[in-house]
Amino acid sequence: MSSQPDITLYTGQTPNGVKISIALELLSLPYKTKAISLGKMEQKEPWFLEINPNGRIPALTDHSPPLSDGKPLHLMESGAILLYLVETYDKDNKISFEKGSREHWEMVQWLVWQNAGLGPMQGQANHFYRYAPEKIQYGIDRYINEGRRLYGVLEARLKEQAAKGSSFIVGDHISIADITCFGWATSAEWAGIELSEFPEVQKWIATIEKIESVETGRNVPEPSGLRKIMGDKEKMDAHAAASSAWIMQGMKQDAKK
């Protein structure tokens, strides 16, 4: 394994995209960034589909992975990428825990929880609440309420951790369990979920935001425009209207395959 990894991150300013740049910054790993224009459907172009056949961001290429065949390794899915980074490059457990420990398995548990639950449910809430051309109240209520339930689960976990003196989802320091949830939690309002109901989640967000490398990583490949307008209903509605066209275009392209 090279002492200086040769990594390319294909990403955009989304809750899933910033996970990987935050992790790379916290690990102090050198990497190149290729911004993917979702509005221009760049994630559906043939060259990108060779890297990520699912046509989503983020994706990562390790051009010099510790593999016997010596070939570049392309990875899709934020959870898989985070696990690869910690297992390959986090020998000092900066954002992970000793493999096989209780904390390791709790970390994996919360990583899967976010990728299988919080992210998909909040993503559906985003769609029905912000983008769907027809406002279907059942869909809006279904996914916002499920999102609120999941934040209740996270709230209970953080309260339990606080009682132990920890400010993190697992153990005594930031890990990929926190990283995987962070981008989604900071955009909960976009999905119609009010975090004032969850004070422990709010305190946890404030803790994570104070970490310098997190702030650097969350602004890759560019600062979040959504972050600047959060709380301004008029601007949020305008942003949703402007975004809905390419989101629906992407859905039509997916349906053709």
Per-residue model confidence as pLDDT tens digits over 211-235: 999 999 999 999 988 888 998 989 9
User: What is the average per-residue pLDDT within 29-37?
Assistant: 98
The CATH number for 102-217, chosen from 3.30.450.40, 1.20.120.1200, 2.40.50.140, 1.20.1050.10, is 1.20.1050.10
| Cis previous bond, 58, omega within 30 | yes
Q: What is the overall mean pLDDT for the chain?
A: 95
136 vs 242: CA distance, rounded Å: 20
CA of 166: how far to CAs of 159, 170, 177, 200, in Å? 9, 8, 14, 12
Confidence class for position 257, pLDDT limits 50, 70, 90 = low
CATH of 7-89, one of 3.40.50.300, 3.30.300.30, 3.40.30.10, 3.50.50.60: 3.40.30.10
Q: Which of 156-170, 172-186, 218-232 has the lowest mean pLDDT?
A: 218-232
Say if strands 32-35 and 7-11 run parallel, antiparallel, or are unpaired.
parallel
pTM of the model: 0.94
What does the pLDDT read at residue 3? Answer: 59
Is the pLDDT at 144 greater than 60? The verdict is: yes
